[in-house]
Amino acid sequence: MSDLPAISGKQLIKLLLLDGWIEKRKAPHGIALYKRIGNRHIVTTVPDKKKSLPDGTLHAILGMKQTQLGRNGLLKLIEKQGMPSNE
C-alpha cells in the first residue's frame, strides 16, 4: 500500500461520494457511507479528518469487507476524478 498517495479521510469521503456512495449518517468516529452493489448494500465508515489516514486504516477501508475498491480501484478513482481538496 506504500505506493498510494497520502489521502485524508475528508478526501476519501469526497472520492467515494463521486463514485456513487451515499452518506448514511455521521457517526462519532466518522461518516458512514453505503452503496448498493448487486443485491447487497455495503457500508463503510471513514474517519472525517484532515490528517492522512494511517496505512492500516486505508487498507481496511479499501478491502473486500468494506468498499471492495482495493489499491487499483482507488488509483483509478483518483485518476478519473482527480484528488479532491482537503476541505
Task: Report whether 17 contacts 23 (CB < 8 A).
Answer: yes
Which CATH code fits 9-77?
Answer: 3.30.920
Is the pTM of the predicted complex or chain greater than 0.85?
yes
How many residues are there in the chain? Answer: 87
Residue-by-residue pLDDT tens, the chain, 87 positions: 457 889 999 999 999 999 999 999 998 889 999 999 889 899 999 999 999 999 999 999 999 999 999 999 999 999 999 988 887
d(CA 1, CA 28): 27
